[in-house]
Amino acid sequence: MMNIPQRIGQMKEIASDLWFTWQRETEKLCAMLDRQLWTETNHNPTKFMRRLYPQRWEKAALNPEFLNLYHRLLEKYAQYQKEKTWYQQNYPESNLLIAYFSAELGLHESLPVYGGGLGILAGDHLKSCGDLGIPLVGVSILYKNSYFKQKINRDGWQEAAYPMLKPEEIPVTPCLGLDGTYLIIPVEIGEKTVYTKIWLQKIGRIKLYLLDTDIPSNNPEERKITGQLYGGDEKTRIAQEIVLGIGGVKALRALGLKPSVWHINEGHAAFLVIERLRELTNQSLSWSRVVQEIKSRTVFTTHTPVPAGHDIFPPELVLDYLSQIIRQLPLTPEEFLALGRGEGHGFNMTKLAFSHSAYVNGVSRLHARVSKKIFSPMYPHLTEEKIPISSVTNGVHLATWTAPEINDLFCKYLGEDWIKRQTDPRLWKKIHLIPDRELWETHQVLKKKMINFVRANVYRYLKRNLEPAFLIREILKKLKPEVFTIGFARRFATYKRADLILKDWERLDKLLNHPERPVNIIFAGKAHPADRPGQEIIKRISDLAKEERFRGRVVFVEDYDIHVARYLLSGTDLWLNTPRRPLEASGTSGQKAAVNGVLNCSIPDGWWPEATNGKNGFTIGKEEEFPNESIHDEKNHQSLFHLLEEKIVPCYYHQTNGLPKKWISHMKESLATIPWYFNSERMVQEYFEKFYLPAGNRAHINKDGSF
């Protein structure tokens, strides 16, 4: 990092803590220093400050406007650190430490170690625990090749590139041992020992520890273990999960941390159970006591509503890769495999987590019901209703996902401290005090910003693909703020049915090119490089977008990430969600759209059945079952088009004195009824009170081995 004048020396602190990435002042400061570089570095304060010309620092240190903003941000940070938190106010006698394990974490676009909603949810979980002062540490992996960057080639196919993350250019610092050297832990994989470095990432009051095998102590293959998120074959995947689960426990021990509660966020991290079994077995306790202790302090959150979505490894691979640890347990190989044996032959990571957790939850009420059905074979003596799976419906971190312009509106009408009272439904009734014109004009500002962003994104990849200038002009010309705009952006898994709206081209043509009520659809999202069907959907959308009648009406935005999401979630008019029910465990993008006044239009799946009241958004179809996928898709397609043609689009375009009064009433109803509950602050409070606190208060092993 460059030498920074002492007067603004705490800019280094700003670069080292991810808390600053969701503070409005941070972006303003960096833009004042060098707006273009801020964009080029993907809003990464660490990388930005390393690359900034020294003269810019000297100039900033003499700029009163810069200094005023700089001191305001630091005062805000100091206040955040010293204020009494929700946890301190409500649980002053509690002495817990929660360890939260997740294979991916979506915290900011500058750290692309997340693949989709699971990671974004985990990132919001950590942020809100920090805001509330809940004593939690995160554990994940530092994927040096990150998740892939997406490009769409001239033929419409997705291409994946894996940029190398440089630790010196991201806000992480190496953990040090007592002797001042890097803290490195051994992890047994097969008959070898793989060495793992520990990195620290600060997120306000929260610490996140990231594991990394890309160090000289390991051979080239071992260094690749933590290379790509969800990359490689099943050998790489099981090695990653051993590093995360077993290595994660060892890392916390090496750091001197003694968690009282262990939270497994999806089955990828379930091997932490095995390491904890080994720890307690070494204390000469009976096996039943060991299992009881492990289970009593473990929370497991499942995010996958289909059996095929769980990690299942071949038994022989598990016995091979865990051979050293198995020899230290009082179990035969067959007994060890039984810890994770589900209905089939393989070793099921979800089964391992589920059977060793006293607290298991789905991420919406519907998902909990679906999970009970999936896990019913484990409880043949119980009816589905009595299977011990509860639910905590997902929410989103409002400070991260609320657009600055919307935040200003909330500060004006809800109060400057609205973010601290976000879970109070009475506060959100004040939404109705916002004048219609002021809300609508704020939305138009955000929509224009979004359109300009999309135009620039589309222009870049069309130009790169050598598309003719007339075609580019034609496409960009139709991307206008006054046109009703639908957003669809998420992971391109086939069950999410990004192409549901595209099934009838003639009907779509009439909808999009209506002479008085035109419609644009903006798509964005990545398909996993191994998911050919998902990539084929992107290809079909790209082909459709080139058709003369759909040019500029259907567009695909390249390389979807947190940064792209902010624009689309705040600037579109309607947020579309069309999963094949009940395969969407929860989903949270519609919640992020809602806090920005964007209306949700969704299948009654995931969180939406808990939120909809008939006035705060639109529901496609009904909560019903179908004999096959073809009939299911056709019924939902017909319902979607009926909604768009007969209700949604006419409602938007019916205006009085330049204002769509009925549409604005829907926006206000959405704002008044959704954000107060579907936020991650409510979510982590629920996790704490339902799971963390009772788990931490359960019986523990005394020195004499008794409970």
Whole-number pLDDT of residue 2:
63
**Rounded mean pLDDT, 156-163:** 94
pLDDT at residue 305 is higher than 80: no
Tell which residue, 234, 297, 227, 294, has the closest CA to residue 268: 234
Each residue's pLDDT tens digit, 686-701: 999 999 999 998 745 4
Task: For residues 431 and 389, state if they share a domain.
Answer: no
Task: For residues 373 and 495, state if they share a domain.
Answer: no
Domain membership flag for residue 582: yes
Find all residues with CB under 8 Å of 12, minimum gap 6, and list them.
1, 4, 49
Domain end, chosen from 82, 109, 130, is at 82
Domain membership flag for residue 401: no
CATH number at residue 524: 3.40.50.2000
Domain membership flag for residue 93: no
Strands 312-313 and 347-348: antiparallel
Residue 39's domain spans which residues?
6-82
pLDDT at residue 517 is higher than 50: yes
User: How far, in Å, CA of 493 to CA of 531, rounded?
Assistant: 8
Task: For residues 139 and 203, state if they share a domain.
Answer: yes
In sequence order, the β-bridge partners of residue 199 are: 174, 210
Q: What is the DSSP string of 147-170?
A: SPEEEE-TTS-EEEE-PPPPGGGT
CA distances 505 to 209, 390, 399, 442, Å, are 49, 43, 40, 34
Query: Could you tell me which residue, 70 or 110, shows the higher pLDDT?
Result: 70
Beta strands in 237-387 (DSSP E): 261-265, 298-301, 312-313, 347-348, 359-362
Whole-number pLDDT of residue 702:
43
pLDDT at residue 309 is higher than 90: no
**Rounded mean pLDDT, 214-240:** 95
**Rounded mean pLDDT, 197-211:** 97
User: How far, in Å, CA of 386 to CA of 269, rounded?
Assistant: 26
Whole-number pLDDT of residue 59:
95
Percent of the chain at pLDDT > 70 equals: 98
Whether the Cβ atoms of residue 349 and residue 310 lie closer than 8 Å to each other: yes
CA angle 296–298–301, rounded 5-degree value: 135
Task: For residues 359 and 435, state if they share a domain.
Answer: no
Task: For residues 316 and 209, state if they share a domain.
Answer: yes
Whole-number pLDDT of residue 232:
86
**Rounded mean pLDDT, 456-478:** 94
pLDDT at residue 167 is higher than 70: yes
Tell which residue, 200, 202, 205, 203, has the closest CA to residue 87: 205
Task: For residues 476 and 581, state if they share a domain.
Answer: yes
Domain membership flag for residue 685: no
Task: For residues 346 and 481, state if they share a domain.
Answer: no
Domain end, chosen from 82, 108, 125, is at 82
User: How far, in Å, CA of 672 to CA of 656, rounded?
Assistant: 23
When the pLDDT of each residue in the chain is averaged and rounded to a whole number, the result is 94
Q: What is the DSSP letter of 247?
A: I
Task: For residues 42 and 103, state if they share a domain.
Answer: no
User: How far, in Å, CA of 121 to CA of 684, rounded?
Assistant: 11
Whether the Cβ atoms of residue 270 and residue 238 lie closer than 8 Å to each other: no
Task: For residues 364 and 458, state if they share a domain.
Answer: no
Task: For residues 107 and 77, state if they share a domain.
Answer: no
Number of domains in the chain: 3
Domain membership flag for residue 58: yes
Domain membership flag for residue 88: no
Whole-number pLDDT of residue 491:
92
The helix/strand/coil state of 435 is coil
Each residue's pLDDT tens digit, 388-431: 999 999 999 999 999 999 999 999 999 999 999 999 999 999 99
The helix/strand/coil state of 142 is coil
Domain end, chosen from 82, 110, 143, is at 82
Task: For residues 124 and 269, state if they share a domain.
Answer: yes
Q: Please tell me the least confidently modeled range out of 63-72, 225-234, 264-273, 573-582.
A: 225-234
CA distances 442 to 54, 81, 652, Å, are 38, 32, 16
Whole-number pLDDT of residue 671:
98
Percent of the chain at pLDDT > 90 equals: 90
Task: For residues 537 and 638, state if they share a domain.
Answer: yes
Each residue's pLDDT tens digit, 533-556: 999 999 999 999 999 999 999 999
At 567, the amino acid letter reads: Y
Domain membership flag for residue 695: no
How confident is residue 307, by pLDDT bands cut at 50, 70 and 90? low
Each residue's pLDDT tens digit, 610-665: 999 999 999 999 998 899 999 999 999 999 999 999 999 999 999 999 999 999 99
Domain membership flag for residue 296: yes
